[in-house]
């Protein structure tokens, strides 16, 4: 493979001590970019392996987040298992963990200890609230961070007097932490190329979630401002809902002409963006009167050529059939031990280098022999000794 066609992270070895979503998605993206990602799993495996959708004992939820990695199931509570993992750490370029702060230090797998052995190591810790501070030890998953960060309440602020938080399932904080970690790790690897120095990265889900609330964050400090900002609300049609965002003058002009409201173009009420934001409810009411006589598809036919940003509210299943998504190869077929299933393609589209989703999800301990022989040159007798000691989980 020529340098021009190689993956961006070809040759980079990643030791993955993560579970659930944030850490695994970060390392999944690193695998997409060509890194050799070894997922270290305890004998019982990542708990996400049991989370629905499950068919024939294999979770496609787990599969989507761990496609393309190698699984080493090893018990670090066994001295022989821990010794092998520390040797693997010596060979790694990057280590990622998302345990509660302090857990890895109990095993000597913390950055301070491992960096003494390998100063060029890039090490990333992902946690709910960070590695330091009075709340660092609080247990957290993404929905807890959504609640405690203000994220959930920010959504209900605009729900016409509803003050109780809505139920939620998405894991936005996890995905944000994964992407922020990926950026920091790649930056650290770039610095290492120039200086030879490693880096320790501390990513907290709480910090990440606040980064997508710039208006709400600033409003908390300046609540007295009376300027309105746009709040985009669903508009009902005959068979569903649509959303519009007439942000710029061009957007607004196109919308006004599309729904036969050209008088808006000379009305001082809508003369600039500030005026439009203050009177957005008037615009939405008028668009609602127009849209509720039409189907969503008929609204789309009219608004698509208007230049006003527009969308139809869809389910995930409906969105996956969008011709634009299909044209960009948004869905790929992969496989695990139970058979084939579909996952989103990697969102990392590159022109010269390659980025692609792996083809297989590892079953627990599938690569025990491969990893120990590839990374550590262990012979079969040495691997068998680990097996006999109970340090390795036998692959099924």
Grouped pLDDT means (10 residues each) for the chain, 396 residues = 71 98 98 98 95 96 98 97 98 98 97 98 98 95 94 81 76 97 98 98 97 92 81 94 95 97 96 91 96 98 95 96 96 97 97 94 97 98 96 78
| Confidence at residue 1, expressed as pLDDT on a 0 to 100 scale | 44
CATH architecture of 235-312: 2-Layer Sandwich (3.30)
The pTM of the full predicted model, rounded to 2 decimals, is: 0.94
Q: Is the peptide bond before 53 cis (omega within 30 degrees of 0)?
A: yes
The dihedral through the CA atoms of 60, 62, 68, 74 has a sign that is negative
Res 161: pLDDT = 67
Q: For residue 228, what pLDDT is reported?
A: 73
The domain locations on the chain are 13-213+325-389, 235-312
Q: Helix, strand, or coil here: 375?
A: helix
C-alpha–C-alpha distance, residues 71 and 16, integer Å: 9
- Domain 13-213+325-389 CATH assignment equals 1.10.10.10: no
Burial of 394 (0-12, 13-18, 19+ CB in 10 A): exposed
Which pLDDT score is estimated for 5?
A: 53
């Amino acid at each position: 493979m020529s340098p021009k066609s190689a993956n961006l992270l070809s040759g980079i070895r990643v030791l993955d001590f993560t579970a659930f979503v944030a850490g695994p998605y970060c390392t999944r993206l690193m695998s997409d970019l060509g890194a050799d990602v070894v997922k270290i799993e305890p004998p019982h495996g990542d708990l996400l392996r049991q989370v629905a959708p499950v068919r024939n004992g294999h979770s496609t939820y787990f599969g989507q987040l761990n496609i393309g990695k190698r699984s080493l199931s090893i018990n670090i509570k066994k001295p022989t298992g821990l010794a092998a993992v520390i040797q693997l750490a010596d060979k790694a370029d990057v280590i990622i963990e998302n345990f509660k702060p302090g857990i890895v230090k109990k095993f000597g797998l913390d950055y301070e200890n491992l960096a003494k052995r390998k100063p060029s190591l890039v090490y990333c810790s992902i946690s709910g609230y960070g590695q330091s501070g009075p709340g660092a030890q609080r247990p957290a998953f993404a929905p807890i961070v959504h609640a405690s960060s203000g994220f959930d309440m920010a959504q209900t602020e605009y729900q016409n007097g509803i003050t109780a938080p809505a139920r939620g399932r998405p894991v936005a904080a996890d995905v944000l932490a994964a992407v922020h970690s990926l950026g920091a790790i790649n930056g650290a690897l770039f610095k290492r190329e120039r200086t030879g120095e490693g880096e320790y990265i501390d990513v907290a889900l709480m910090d990440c979630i606040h980064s997508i609330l710039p208006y709400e964050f600033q409003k908390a400090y300046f609540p007295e401002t009376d300027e309105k900002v746009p709040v985009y609300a669903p508009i009902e049609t005959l068979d569903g809902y649509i959303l519009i965002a007439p942000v710029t003058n061009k957007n607004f002009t196109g919308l006004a002409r599309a729904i036969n409201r050209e008088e808006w173009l000379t009305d001082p009420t809508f003369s600039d963006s500030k005026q439009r934001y203050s009177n957005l409810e008037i615009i939405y009411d008028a668009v609602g009167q127009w849209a509720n006589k039409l189907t969503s598809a008929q609204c789309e036919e009219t608004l698509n050529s208007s230049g006003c940003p527009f969308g139809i509210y869809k389910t995930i299943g409906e969105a996956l059939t969008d011709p634009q998504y299909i044209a960009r190869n948004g869905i790929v077929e992969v496989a695990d031990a139970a058979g084939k299933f579909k996952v989103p393609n990697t969102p990392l589209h590159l022109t010269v280098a390659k980025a692609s989703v792996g083809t297989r999800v590892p079953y627990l301990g599938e690569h025990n022999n491969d990893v120990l022989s590839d990374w550590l040159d262990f012979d079969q007798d040495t691997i068998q000794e680990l097996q006999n000691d109970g340090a390795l989980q036998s692959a099924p």
